[in-house]
Structure 1
């Protein structure tokens, strides 16, 4: 049985923490318009799109031609700590991982923007499956592009 593992990435952004966090909590479905090279579509299947229990169907790429599918739910929201946990429960990732959660945390840095932290908590379906490092690269691209987009808005 494979152990639960964790990958982490931090990105400093210029955008205020509240603005970045509120976007990811309430408006993440807009990512296909902001990053069409990665996100092809986002379909709301259940809920209001911004609260625990929301279910969305994402079509995305990892920078290549293959379009992947993931069905996610918002597992938890912690406004005090500016943290949202998304859980992938169906789709391409489930072929390699028994569990796959993405934890987004946004930490204020005073007047100097924020620190955006991404944690991927996963359990491989089989020991020989790869670690999901390409998703850290996707996270980095999302943080950088979203920072620029939110500062312009």
Structure 2
């Protein structure tokens, strides 16, 4: 098994606590609302949102994927960190054993926040993953973050 890792950072004018609550604590409800073209539902299969929680994400018709399961690895509300892994689903294909994400949201000097994310792709065997797959994953994560940001800016009383 090999591991391919990349980091990316996104800055937003949305304050730290509000962004963390939306992106992490209420993402099950918010993501299908802000990305209805992609995500049909998020269902908790096991747990209460903390470490060990297993979630089933169902994609809408027309998506290249049907479902995926992800597992919450760590959640630290005081330090605004969240780690989870995609552990099952056609998103992994025959290339990846799992994909892990480590996110930390910090306050920016301007009053907004900065999301720093490290993604680790665990390959099956010695499979070489392409830059296109990594770039596509990064673009999807960025699009989700920006959709949540747009929702929060359009709905300032939310959260």
- Same fold? TM cut 0.5: yes
Alignment-derived partner of residue 133 in structure 1: 135
Partner deviation per Cα, 1:105-141 (whole Å, 9 max, x = no partner)? 1111144301112221122114234343212111111
Alignment-derived partner of residue 34 in structure 2: 34
Alignment-derived partner of residue 69 in structure 1: 67
Is the contact between residue 86 and residue 100 of structure 2 (CA under 8 Å) also seen in structure 1? Answer: yes
Is the contact between residue 13 and residue 115 of structure 1 (CA under 8 Å) also seen in structure 2? Answer: yes
Is the contact between residue 75 and residue 86 of structure 1 (CA under 8 Å) also seen in structure 2? Answer: yes
For normalisation by structure 2, the TM-score amounts to 0.83
Equivalent position to 1:145, from 123, 147, 152: 147
For normalisation by structure 1, the TM-score amounts to 0.86
How many Å separate the matches in 1 of 2:65 and 2:96?
Answer: 18
Partner deviation per Cα, 1:63-82 (whole Å, 9 max, x = no partner)? x7323421111100122331
Alignment-derived partner of residue 89 in structure 1: 87
How many Å separate the matches in 2 of 1:19 and 1:134?
Answer: 27
Given the alignment of the two structures, is residue 79 of structure 1 paired with residue 77 of structure 2, yes or no? yes
Given the alignment of the two structures, is residue 59 of structure 1 paired with residue 58 of structure 2, yes or no? yes
For structure 2, the residue ranges without an aligned partner over 5 or more in a row are: none
RMSD, matched Cα: 2.0
Is the contact between residue 38 and residue 63 of structure 2 (CA under 8 Å) also seen in structure 1? Answer: no
Alignment-derived partner of residue 43 in structure 2: 43
How many Å separate the matches in 1 of 2:93 and 2:102?
Answer: 17
Residue aligned with 2:9, SS? strand
